[in-house]
Structures are given as C-alpha cells and as structure tokens.
C-alpha cells in the first residue's frame, strides 16, 4: 500500500493572505494569518498531485482521511515553551566558541571576543542564543566532553543573569547535564539524538525541549557521496520514526523542533529539493528550524559571485524558508537578517 504525504503549497502573504482567510478562500498556516495557502500537494514515492483545498472532499475515503489528519497539523497554531511562535521568523543567533567551525572558527574563542559577540547577538534581536563548543563542520573530529565543556561554561554563566532563551549545541549528555545546572532552555543535538546513548534518557528525566536534527552519517563522513532514495520523503520518515521511538521511551511533550539539516549529509541537489519543498514537514505538527547561514550550497549556486560572509545567499534562502512557514532560522548575521525581514514584511502589508 502506498504511503502518502501532504504538503501545503500555493501560499499568500500579508494583506492578501488576511483577505483570503476572511473570505475562506485560503487556510492560515500554523494558525498564523500572515501566511496562508489554498492548495496541497499529495505525494507518494511514484508521483505527486496538486489539488485545491476545496477538492479534498472528492478524494477516495482513506486518502481523504489521511489528508485531513495532515491538514489538521498543518493549520493548527503552534505553541512552544518560552517561545512566541505567532511572531516568525524567530532568529537564533550562533555563538560558536570553537577554534575550527567552518565559518567563524577562532573568532570568538577568547573570553573578551565571546562577550562582545554575545552582546552583539542580543542587541541585534536574536531571540535564541545557540551556544556551541564543538565544530560539526564536514570532516570535523570529535573532541573530549571536558574540553567542550571548558569552552562554553563561562558564557553560560554570563547568560544565567540574562532573559535570553538559551540553546545548547552539543551531542554529549555530559555537557547537557553540566549546562543544566547553570541555564539552558533547549538541546540542539545535530546527531539526531543518536551520538550519545545516554541523551534520550537525559531528555526524559530533564524534560528539556529539544531539536530533532537530521544528519546522514557523522561530521567526519557525512559529505562523502550522500545518497537517498528520495531526500524529502526519507527525512520525513526519519522524523516520523524518531518521534515514535521517543514517545515509546516516555517523552510525551511537544516542545520539539524539527531541523532537516541543510548541508549535513546532503549535496547541492538534496539541499535545493529540501528548500523548495520544506513545507512538507508542517504536517508532522511541530515547529521547523533551518540552519542556512553561510552554507556551502550558497557558494555552489553563486559560483564566481561567492563571498566569504555569503550574506546575500543567506538572506535569500532565509526568506524562501519563511515563505513556506519555517518558524526558526539559525544564523550568524542577526542584524542583517532581521533588517531583511522588517523590510520584506512591510512590503507585504
């Protein structure tokens, strides 16, 4: 029996969206009336079909029931502990305290520079600060948990006295437990909670919100000819299976974010496919996050127009993600991204 997937598409924005919702011509995405849609794409592994939402009632009974269940998730208002998902995108500012991260390694691993970076992220409007002490760039080696902890503990102590929402970018339960004694609001584990077998039990006991991130392989080998049968549906199935597993392990809360992992075991074609169809993940009923900032796919597309900071490519891909309702964007250049969205939203009104 074929497995079907539902993707919201044909979106409207700003005043047009609000007008269409009022006339019941479109459905608000995630209960957010600034973005709405009037069509869905029904996908299986052999074909796709786009239909208007008013034609869902004409579908065969089993398929209609499946689509309506997905639609319920797609249109429902999202809630998340300590985050306001009615005002998107939420900008997550990157605080890398590493000597070797792909873009900003070594720039902030001294305390005075790290403090300056932190103040800049906060003053420029980052709603989440993502603190990391280990590089997971392509080809990166693991580091000892104590070394990782030593890199980040001082900045967490500074953040303890601030009102910021703190995300911890780590794969290690040792670091999670240490950080929990100071202050963290979210666990952002790029391994999809699979690197450290103790992580899931930690999350169950601590009841911390977390990100399910998709990565094919490990940082050391993830970019060595990554392959998928269908990158979009394979990652969807990964999320579905991981959620089922976590529920069985006793994690029942919905303070979970999904991140398809752009650049983590994906080639250019995979990344573009995900970005063009990212709205498929709304049918899983959880917020979606993307890390697009300065990624290699920008260089691959722009070629001779590539720049070190890749701000232009970051802005354009972030807006593309927002246009499909992605709620959280993880970026280096907080000020520039916030400016881009202020201008874009105003022009839509």
Q: pLDDT for 47-68, tens place per residue?
A: 999 999 999 999 999 999 999 9
pLDDT score recorded for residue 38 = 98
What are the phi and psi torsion angles at 168 (to 5°)?
-110, 115
Q: What does the pLDDT average to over 106-111?
A: 64
Calculate the average pLDDT of the chain.
93
With 60 as the cut, is the pLDDT of residue 101 above it?
Answer: no
CA–CA dist 13, 152 (Å, integer): 40
Low-confidence winner among 2-6, 120-124, 177-181, 306-310 (lowest mean pLDDT): 306-310
Catalytic residue set: 295, 330
Token readout for 33 is 């009336």
Domain ranges, ordered by start, for the chain: 5-75, 90-348
Whole-number pLDDT of residue 105: 47
Q: Tell whether the torsion through CA atoms of 253, 170, 313 and 235 is positive or negative.
A: negative
Q: What value does the mean pLDDT take over residues 66-94?
A: 96
For residue 44, with 0-12 CB atoms within 10 Å meaning exposed, 13-18 middle and 19 or more buried, which class applies? middle
**CATH class entry, domain 90-348:** alpha beta
Strand partners, 91: 329
pLDDT tens track for 132-162: 999 887 878 889 999 999 999 999 999 988 8
Range with the lowest mean pLDDT among 94-108, 161-175, 249-263?
94-108
* pLDDT tens digits, one per residue of 250-307: 999 999 999 999 999 999 999 999 999 999 999 999 999 999 999 999 999 999 888 8
Q: Report in angstroms the alpha-carbon separations of 110 from 62, 148, 151, 164, 305.
A: 59, 14, 9, 21, 32
More confident residue, 141 or 235: 235
pTM of the model: 0.95
pLDDT of 1: 67
Confidence grade of residue 100 (pLDDT, cut at 50, 70, 90): low
């Amino acid at each position: 029996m074929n497995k079907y997937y539902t993707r919201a598409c044909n979106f409207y924005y700003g005043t047009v969206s609000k007008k269409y919702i009022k006339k019941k011509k479109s459905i608000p995405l995630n209960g957010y009336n600034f973005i709405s849609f009037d069509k869905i794409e029904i996908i299986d592994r052999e074909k796709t079909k786009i239909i208007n939402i008013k034609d869902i009632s004409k579908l065969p009974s089993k398929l209609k029931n499946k689509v309506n269940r997905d639609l319920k998730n797609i249109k429902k208002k999202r809630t998340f502990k300590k985050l306001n998902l009615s005002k998107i995108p939420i900008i997550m500012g990157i605080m890398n305290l590493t000597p070797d991260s792909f873009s900003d390694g070594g720039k902030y691993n001294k305390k005075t520079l790290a403090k300056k970076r932190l103040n800049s992220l906060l003053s420029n409007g980052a709603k989440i600060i993502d603190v990391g002490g280990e590089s997971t760039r392509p080809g990166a080696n693991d580091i000892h948990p104590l070394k990782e902890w030593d890199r980040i503990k001082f900045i967490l102590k500074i953040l303890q006295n601030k009102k910021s929402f703190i995300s911890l970018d780590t794969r290690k339960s040792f670091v999670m437990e240490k950080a929990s004694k100071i202050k963290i609001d979210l666990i952002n584990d790029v391994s999809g909670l699979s690197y450290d077998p103790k992580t899931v039990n930690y999350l169950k006991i601590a009841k911390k919100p977390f990100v399910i991130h998709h990565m094919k392989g490990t940082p050391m080998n993830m970019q060595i000819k990554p392959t998928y049968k269908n990158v979009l549906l394979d990652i969807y199935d990964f999320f579905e299976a991981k959620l089922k597993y976590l529920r069985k392990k006793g994690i029942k809360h919905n303070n979970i974010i999904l991140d398809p992992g752009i650049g983590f075991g994906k080639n250019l074609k995979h990344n573009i496919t995900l970005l063009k169809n990212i709205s498929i993940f709304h049918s899983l009923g959880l917020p979606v996050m993307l890390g697009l900032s300065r990624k290699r796919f920008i260089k691959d597309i722009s070629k001779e127009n590539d720049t070190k900071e890749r701000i232009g490519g970051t802005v354009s891909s972030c807006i593309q993600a927002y246009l499909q309702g992605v709620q959280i964007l993880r970026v280096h250049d907080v000020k520039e991204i916030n400016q881009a969205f202020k201008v874009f939203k105003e022009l839509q009104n």
